[in-house]
């Protein structure tokens, strides 16, 4: 099955020719040509909606194309289903995690491949093999016996990677594998990718983080609006040229001018403690963007979850605008004017099968419903106003959120909380999994929101984000606050020293 395909002197692990895919009312792919050389790391990029995920789902046997041909090592293949893809050594780590959260790490890694001992699953072998895979990617701190629901999103992503590595892979597709990872974990993953390449594994790498693509990829294929734009050697492309290929136009510096006007402290949280947070105190000033940074597992999100009463916690004084407030639940927090746009927007921030309209007005239902009747004019005016303010692109407000791009889904999350007129908006990984054009839009919106009088707390695993957007940065490690830096003193080296323990 694995005879090597050769065209001229080039060996192709994969060729997809003339691939077209139509959904009702939408041509997702139009005559796509995509070829990947054996043993290379090949980037597949484009803005959200460009067709990357659809193309990969065709390769994985999830979707069937309306037209086109697939060759694996120059063998023409009918990719009828997921099982066929696995038989050809194709493994896909999808952007949307597909773990069974009520099962353990080991059970998830070997789901469908359990080794049996008599009538029972061989648990010891399962645990031992899982521990080996976790050690291989430098995540031995994760116990194979831990229930996946107890892991952070970033740790769950590493379990997905282990699951792919547990198979006999020849082509590994990684769809946004670093979206939830901090810099140290990204570097670890890149090291793993290079080791796999040395072993002859062909890797298709999808990422919106262009610095990672330039660091690790041999060639880059760009899609735009379901069409093939071109394939280039990474060494022959500039950052600016690549962005132009992606968006079809030149794009200015991704980060907008820093124009905040920082005032006095108006919020303080003292002595926050939870299972994963140890005595963290911080403050927020008017008109500032406050950053929280740390490596995976540092406790960035956990601080906010403890503050808002999502996780069981204890707190000292919480003071907003000079008054002590009590927060035992997210409802208490929202009533006080403190809201969270969560890291996992699809499952914690949105109801995907509902409309844009429904999602935006969900937090203010009490205001727009009289008895059992919807105040339609108020509802429509609210949705229209905030959607235009945030520049949400949608065919209509009755469109289901699941059909929007990642960037527009994130804008809906922002909209649903901004209609509550919050005092503090906490953004947890607000640009996770969205393209460079959408990122630029979100960055502009952050500054617009701050100028409107809302305090912003930005949690991000992307160091350039916190360095370029924030007025002040708190750095955490192992659930503890290890450093506080003003914008003018920030360097990536200094942030990393606090994050890894070089400075106490």
pLDDT, tens only, 211-246: 889 999 999 999 988 999 999 999 999 888 887 888
pLDDT number for residue 26: 74
Q: Which of 476, 478, 496, 494 is nearest to 486 (CA)?
A: 494
Average pLDDT, the chain: 88
| E strands in 79-237 | 90-93, 116-117, 120-121, 171-175, 202-206, 219-224, 227-233
Cβ of 334: how many Cβ atoms within 10 Å?
17
Q: Using CA atoms, how far apart are residues 379 and 358, in angstroms rounded to an integer?
A: 9
> DSSP for 263-322?
--EEEEEEEEEETTEEEEEEEEETT-EEEEE-STTSSHHHHHHHHTTSS-EE-S-EEETT
Element (H, E) at 31: strand 26-37
| E strands in 144-253 | 171-175, 202-206, 219-224, 227-233
Mean predicted confidence (pLDDT) in 102-108:
92
Query: How many angstroms separate the Cα of 21 from the Cα of each of 5, 28, 30, 38, 108?
Result: 25, 6, 7, 26, 31
pLDDT number for residue 249: 63
pLDDT number for residue 66: 94
Confidence of residue 354 (pLDDT cuts 50, 70, 90): very high
pLDDT number for residue 419: 93
**Is the pLDDT at 38 greater than 70, yes or no?**
yes
β-pair type (289-293, 472-477): parallel
pLDDT number for residue 243: 79
pLDDT tens figures, 1-11: 334 445 456 78
pLDDT number for residue 245: 86
**Least confident residue range of 249-253, 467-471, 484-488:** 249-253
**Least confident residue range of 132-136, 354-358, 426-430:** 132-136
Mean predicted confidence (pLDDT) in 315-342:
95
pLDDT number for residue 404: 86
Confidence of residue 326 (pLDDT cuts 50, 70, 90): very high
**Least confident residue range of 256-265, 295-304, 380-389, 391-400:** 295-304
pLDDT number for residue 4: 43
- The helix, strand and coil proportions of the chain, stated in percent and rounded to the nearest 5, come to 35, 30, 35
**Higher pLDDT, residue 435 or 313:** 313
Mean pLDDT: which of 79-88, 291-300, 430-439 is highest?
79-88
Find all residues with CB under 8 Å of 157, minimum gap 6, and list them.
Answer: 97, 177, 179, 180, 181
Cβ of 473: how many Cβ atoms within 10 Å?
26
What is the 3 state secondary structure string of 416-480? HHHCCCCCEEEEECCCCCCCHHHHHHHHHHHHHHHHCCCEEEEECCCHHHHHHHCCEEEEEECCE
**Is the pLDDT at 265 greater than 90, yes or no?**
yes
pLDDT number for residue 503: 65
pLDDT tens figures, 55-102: 999 999 999 999 999 999 999 999 989 999 989 999 998 767 778 889
pLDDT number for residue 217: 96
pLDDT number for residue 119: 57
Find all residues with CB under 8 Å of 80, minimum gap 6, and list them.
Answer: 61, 64
**Least confident residue range of 147-161, 248-262, 405-419, 470-484:** 248-262
pLDDT number for residue 3: 40
């Amino acid at each position: 099955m694995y005879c090597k395909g050769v065209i001229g002197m080039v060996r192709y692990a994969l060729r997809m020719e003339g691939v077209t895919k139509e959904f009702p009312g939408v041509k997702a792919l139009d005559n796509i040509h995509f070829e990947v050389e054996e043993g290379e790391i090949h980037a597949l990029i484009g803005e959200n909606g460009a067709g990357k995920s659809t193309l990969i789902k065709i390769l994985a046997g999830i979707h069937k194309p309306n037209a086109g041909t697939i060759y694996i090592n120059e063998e023409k293949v009918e990719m009828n289903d997921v099982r066929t893809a696995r038989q050809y050594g194709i493994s896909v780590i999808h952007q949307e995690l597909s773990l069974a959260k009520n099962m353990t790490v080991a059970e998830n890694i070997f789901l469908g491949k359990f080794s049996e001992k008599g009538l029972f699953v061989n648990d010891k072998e399962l645990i031992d093999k899982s521990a080996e895979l976790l050690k291989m990617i430098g995540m031995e701190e994760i116990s194979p016996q831990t229930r996946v629901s107890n892991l952070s999103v970033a740790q769950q992503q590493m379990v997905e990677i282990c699951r792919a590595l547990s198979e006999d892979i020849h082509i590994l597709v990684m769809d946004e594998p670093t979206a939830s990872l901090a810099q140290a974990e990204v570097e670890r993953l890149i090291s793993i990718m290079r080791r796999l390449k040395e072993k002859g594994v062909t890797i298709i790498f999808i990422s919106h983080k262009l610095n990672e693509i330039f660091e690790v990829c041999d060639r880059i294929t760009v899609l735009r609006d379901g069409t093939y734009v071109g394939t280039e050697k990474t060494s022959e492309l500039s950052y600016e040229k690549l962005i132009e290929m992606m968006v079809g136009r030149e794009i200015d510096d991704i980060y907008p001018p820093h124009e905040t006007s920082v005032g006095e402290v108006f919020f303080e949280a003292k002595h926050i403690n939870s299972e994963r947070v140890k005595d963290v105190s911080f403050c927020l000033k008017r008109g500032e963007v406050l950053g929280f940074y740390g490596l995976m597992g540092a406790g960035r999100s956990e601080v906010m979850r403890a503050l808002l009463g999502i996780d069981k916690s204890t707190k000292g004084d919480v003071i907003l605008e000079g008054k002590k407030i009590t927060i035992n639940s997210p409802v208490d927090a929202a009533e006080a004017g403190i809201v969270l746009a969560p890291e996992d927007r699809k499952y914690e921030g949105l109801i995907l099968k509902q409309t844009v309209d429904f999602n935006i007005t969900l937090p203010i239902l009490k205001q727009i419903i009289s008895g059992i009747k919807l105040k339609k004019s108020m509802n429509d005016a609210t949705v229209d106003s905030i959607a235009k303010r945030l520049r949400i692109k949608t065919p209509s407000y009755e469109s289901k959120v699941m059909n929007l791009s990642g960037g527009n889904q994130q804008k809906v999350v922002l909209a649903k909380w901004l209609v509550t007129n919050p005092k503090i908006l906490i953004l947890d990984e607000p640009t996770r999994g969205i393209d460079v054009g959408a990122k630029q839009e979100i960055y502009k919106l952050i500054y617009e929101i701050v100028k409107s009088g809302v305090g912003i707390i930005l949690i991000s695993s992307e160091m350039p984000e916190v360095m370029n957007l924030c007025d002040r940065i708190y750095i955490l490690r192992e659930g503890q606050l290890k450093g506080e830096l003003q914008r003018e003193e920030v360097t990536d080296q200094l942030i990393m020293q606090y994050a890894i323990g070089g400075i106490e």
